[in-house]
Chain A
Amino acid sequence: KNEVEQSPQNLTAQEGEFITINCSYSVGISALHWLQQHPGGGIVSLFMLSSGKKKHGRLIATINIQEKHSSLHITASHPRDSAVYICAVRGGIQGAQKLVFGQGTRLTINP
């Protein structure tokens, strides 16, 4: 079993729909990252959080440390949101810096 599991693996929705991508992890962490990857490979950091909730524009990320679970929400989805969304965790060991990644969720928003 991978340390970081995402669901769903693929998601297709219509423009305007509310999107939820889930991430569960099995290890202690110091922070969780949500990343966006467009075709061609470039990865952009969306959020880094260790508790609670963060919002940026139409994107919202939440984390529940006790349940080892995080969600990424997109409100009023748009075709330009189509990308792979990746959840990654940074270990709870002091000084641990590497990220452990989920396999990604491929999101397609149709007009």
Chain B
Amino acid sequence: DTGVSQDPRHKITKRGQNVTFRCDPISEHNRLYWYRQTLGQGPEFLTYFQNEAQLEKSRLLSDRFSAERPKGSFSTLEIQRTEQGDSAMYLCASSPNSGATYNEQFFGPGTRLTVL
């Protein structure tokens, strides 16, 4: 088990460009979460999937943000027309639906986005 992986680890882009991040959860974890963390703050919830269904979205997730998990495995988070305020660490986490670690969330290393 290689843990939750995220790609890329770092992304620098110019304002107005679109970016896409990928998260691969721990295999057989059917719950997947996206969070955003700005410097010096705790993470903030963005969205949550159970299998391929997006069950909850934060109001932080403006219409420029979209997340998918088409086959219930990996997930992508896309930001369109990036703004400088989008600069943050984007964290992905996954959790199992049962077992000893039920409801515990396992975090990936994050993707650090810098919008110039």
Contact = CB atoms under 8 A, between A and B. Distances in A.
A98 B33 contact: yes
Range of interface residues on A (Cβ < 8 Å): 20 to 34
Range of interface residues on B (Cβ < 8 Å): 20 to 34
Nearest to B3: A42
Contacts of A45: 104-107
A99 B45 contact: yes
Q: Report whether over half of chain A's contact residues are helix, strand or loop; otherwise say mixed.
A: strand
Interface stretch (B19-27, B36-44, B70-78): B36-44
Contacts of A104: 40-42
Contact of A97 (B33, B40, B58, B112): B33
Interface of A: 4, 31, 33, 35, 40-45, 48, 86, 88, 90, 97-104
